[in-house]
Structure 1
Amino acid sequence: MYLVHARLRAAPPHELPDDLREAVRAGLDPADQVEHLAVHPQRAGHFTLGFYLLDDSLEAAERHAESVCRRLLGTRVLPAARLLDVGVPLMPLSLSDTGTG
């Protein structure tokens, strides 16, 4: 399973609906194959969608999340926004070190 973040910026006036999380979850289709979704509103109209996806590779998961995001934007489930980037968040080496070496 991969966690993929899609970062977006809402169009001016940069107001995100209070029910953004519920709206996005309701807009997901079973065909999207999203195992879990997290929504993180941020400053000045920026927000991140965290998709948990079962895919064969990191690259496939990133393409999958971008596709779902673009569908949600196209069907106006999401507020008018620009997709800034899509990618697997990187973990600092200090956190990924298991100490077994």
Structure 2
Amino acid sequence: MQDISAQELKERLDKGETPYILDVREEWEFEEDNLGGQLIPLATLPAQIGEVKANKDEEVVVHCRSGKRSATAKKILEQNGFTQVRNLEGGILAYREL
């Protein structure tokens, strides 16, 4: 599935849409600034994949600081049967610039 731009995500959130957001940063990063999604750090994602299985067939927007860790997380999710995973292009840095 095609990745999502910061602008598109912001517009959707501003309209009240509630896509499932998975934050794969570290806990301290999440505490400093977050979009309200579920936090599962990338290093623990394979062991915690069961926590997001309920969203396997739904759109999942995965993000990190800049988009690199979330690109890896997208691959992990897709390898585990997730079909609608979208990486937030540029991560939270791009989102906060809007």
Give the TM-score of the pair, scaled to structure 2: 0.31
Higher helix share: 2
> Higher strand proportion, which one?
1
Higher RCO (C-alpha 8 Å, min separation 6): 1
- Higher Cα Rg: structure 1 or 2? 1
* TM-score, normalising length: structure 1: 0.31
